[in-house]
Structure 1
Amino acid sequence: MTIHKLQKNDIKALEDLYDNLYERLYLFLIRISKSHEVSEDIIQSTFIKVWDNRKKLSTEKPLDAQVFVIARNLLLNYIKRQGIEQQVISSLTAVGAEVKDGMQEVYCHEIQDIYENTINQLPKKRKEIYKLRYLKGFSNKEIAEKLDISPNTVENHLSQANGFIRKRMDFLKQSSGFSFLLFCFIKNLNRFL
């Protein structure tokens, strides 16, 4: 209902949304930024962005979740500009797992996107071998036969791919819990198949 009002340029809907979400957004942001001023600035920027992009808001997703994603992304951009991204990324992912009202689903898709982007950064042959092994269920021997390479080459590629992916995904495992990470992976596995 609020999304439709926003899309019809109802400024009162924006004010109501601000009143309803301000405290939750502030608590979310202060836990990560540890700064009152930064949290306030991000909140203001969030609602400006919501208003500027009101026509693009999805009616399929909870509005609260969309607002939290905007706030989180603005905070990430601020952190990157400040050069302190690694200090708070674990806090952000831990808090992200706790946010309710649709955020778990959004967060889960983001983890899956990070995983997919990480796989796509692999060299072409390594990516192909990785997908055949872990996403299609081929054995190392079957992969070697299919690609006309030695089983040792398959093992080397898989070892290097796993090391690369583990390194890129390790912060998620540490901060958001392995079971949640596994849940997200299994839930969205069909995106890769």
Structure 2
Amino acid sequence: MMIAEKILRMFGETEEKAFRLLYDTYYKTLVLFANQVVNDKEVAKDIVQDYLAKFWVTKPYKTLKSGLDKYIFQAVKFSAITYLKEARRKEDSYQSFSREVMSEEDTIQLEEQVDIIKVVYQMIDLLPAERRQVFMMVFVDGMSYQEVAERLEISKNTVKTQLSRALKFLRKEMKDNDIPFLFIFLVKK
């Protein structure tokens, strides 16, 4: 009997032991596999760990009759490709943002921009934890309201409310600290 079939059969009996065997059998190989896609061993480890946690939570093994190997390798490959797409999207956003900042270089020196960004993040840190998390997911990670709602398991309206309150607070803080740059950054969304 192949190890994949044994693991699937074990899931029907004792999930903890089956998952432990799955982890011990496939973890290192999955990391090497993911590393071939992302070319970063630490990122590959994160991808595999995240996938295995998702595997444990969603329990896809309950519907699998065979093909565990193929299933987990395809899932890790998809996760790695998704990571690369997301990283590329973030890099593109950063490059776009950098071009905008550099076009204002005549009026604001680069050092001043760094200082402003520090102040901005200090202001963001003043937000309550959930509000700060929603703000960062939308404005820094570039996630949609729906994606944030799903990830945090809250309603889309709660995301909008938290974001609205965060922006109101930050606009007031900007005005008090005379930081027009932040306003431009915030209203772009």
Greater RCO (CA < 8 Å, at least 6 residues apart)? 1
Same fold at TM > 0.5: no
- Could you state the TM-score of these two structures normalised by the residue count of structure 1? 0.39
> Of the two, which has the highest radius of gyration?
2
- Could you state the TM-score of these two structures normalised by the residue count of structure 2? 0.40
